[in-house]
Structure 1
Amino acid sequence: MSQDSAATTSFLDSLHERASATRRTILFPEATDPRTVSAVLRLQKQGSVHPVLVRRGDAPTGVVPSGGTLIDPLEDPRLPQIVEHLLARRGSKGLTRDDAERLARDPLYFADSLVALGEADGCVAGAVHTTADVLRAAIWTIGAAPGVKTVSSSFYLIVPPFRGNEAEVLTYTDCAVVPDPTARQLADIALAAAADRRRIVGDEPRVAFLSYSSMGSADGPSVSKVREAVAIVREEAPLLIVSGELQVDAALIPELARRKAPGEPAAGIANILVFPSLDAGNIAYKLTQRLAHGTAIGPILQGLAKPCSDLSRGATADDIAHVAAITALQAAARPDLTPGL
Structure 2
Amino acid sequence: MKFIESVFEKLERHPKRILFPDGTQPHVIAGAVEYVERKLGIAILLGKREEVEEAAKKINAPLRRIHIIDPEKAEDLPLFIKRLETLNRYRGISQPDAVKIITHPNYFGSMMLQNGQVDGLVGGATSSSGSILRPLFQLIKPLPGVKSISSCMVLQVPNCEFGHNGLFVFADCGVIPNPTVDQLSSIAIEAAKLNRQFTGDVPRVAMLSYSTRGSTQTQETERIAAATALARQYFIENNIEAEIDGELQADAAIVPEVGALKAPGSPVAGRANVLIFPDLNSGNIALKLVHRLTKADAYGQLLLGLDKPAADLSRGASVEEIVGVAAIVGLQAINYRKLYPEQGARYTP
Give TM-score scaled by structure 2 length.
Answer: 0.87
2:247 aligns with one of 245, 248, 264: 245
Cα offset, 1:202, TM superposition: 3.7
Alpha-carbon separation, structure 2, partners of 1:195 and 1:97: 42
Residue 279 and residue 118 in structure 1: after superposition, are their counterparts in 2 closer, same or farther (change >3 A)? same
What is aligned with 2:303? 301
Contact map agreement 2:49 2:68 (CA 8 A) in 1: no
Residue 36 and residue 231 in structure 1: after superposition, are their counterparts in 2 closer, same or farther (change >3 A)? same
Cα offset, 1:94, TM superposition: 7.3
Contact map agreement 1:40 1:65 (CA 8 A) in 2: no
Cα offset, 1:101, TM superposition: 2.2
What is aligned with 1:71? 69
What is aligned with 2:183? 185
Task: Give aligned-pair identity as a percent.
Answer: 36
Deviations 1:186-224 (A, max 9, x none): 111111111222233443211110111111211111101
Alpha-carbon separation, structure 2, partners of 1:267 and 1:164: 11
Alpha-carbon separation, structure 2, partners of 1:153 and 1:129: 17
- Structure 1 gaps of 5+ residues are 1-6, 337-341
Alpha-carbon separation, structure 2, partners of 1:263 and 1:95: 59
What is aligned with 1:141? 139
Cα offset, 1:88, TM superposition: 2.4
1:210 aligns with one of 208, 211, 220: 208
Counterpart secondary structure, 1:149: coil
Contact map agreement 1:87 1:97 (CA 8 A) in 2: no
Counterpart secondary structure, 1:231: helix
Cα offset, 1:32, TM superposition: 0.6
Counterpart secondary structure, 1:74: helix
Confirm or deny that 1:110 pairs with 2:72: no
Tell me which moved more, 225-234 or 104-113: 104-113
Confirm or deny that 1:24 pairs with 2:26: no
Contact map agreement 2:291 2:298 (CA 8 A) in 1: yes
Cα offset, 1:92, TM superposition: 5.9
Residue 283 and residue 164 in structure 1: after superposition, are their counterparts in 2 closer, same or farther (change >3 A)? closer
What is aligned with 1:320? 322
What is aligned with 1:175? 173
Residue 291 and residue 333 in structure 1: after superposition, are their counterparts in 2 closer, same or farther (change >3 A)? same
Contact map agreement 2:163 2:254 (CA 8 A) in 1: no
What is aligned with 1:332? 334
Residue 120 and residue 218 in structure 1: after superposition, are their counterparts in 2 closer, same or farther (change >3 A)? same
Deviations 1:102-159 (A, max 9, x none): 2221222111101101111111111112111111111111132222232211111111
Alpha-carbon separation, structure 2, partners of 1:93 and 1:241: 46
Deviations 1:226-249 (A, max 9, x none): 011011101111142111111111
Q: Which has the higher contact order (CA 8 A, sep 6+)?
A: 1
Deviations 1:42-70 (A, max 9, x none): 11110112111122357564336113222
Tell me which moved more, 72-81 or 181-190: 72-81
Cα offset, 1:293, TM superposition: 3.1
Matching residue's letter, 1:298: G
- The 5-angstrom pairing of residues 29-40 of structure 1 reads 29-40=21-32
1:284 aligns with one of 281, 286, 293: 286
Matching residue's letter, 1:146: P
Contact map agreement 1:23 1:50 (CA 8 A) in 2: yes
What is aligned with 2:257? 255
Contact map agreement 1:122 1:327 (CA 8 A) in 2: yes
- The 5-angstrom pairing of residues 41-60 of structure 1 reads 41-57=33-49, 59=51
Matching residue's letter, 1:273: L
Runs (4 or more) in structure 1 with deviation over 4 Å come to: 57-61, 92-97, 164-167
Alpha-carbon separation, structure 2, partners of 1:331 and 1:30: 21
Contact map agreement 1:170 1:272 (CA 8 A) in 2: yes
What is aligned with 1:194? 192
Tell me which moved more, 218-227 or 89-98: 89-98
Residue 60 and residue 249 in structure 1: after superposition, are their counterparts in 2 closer, same or farther (change >3 A)? closer
How many aligned residue pairs are there? 328
Matching residue's letter, 2:14: T
What is aligned with 1:131? 129
Deviations 1:251-276 (A, max 9, x none): 11122222211222111111000000
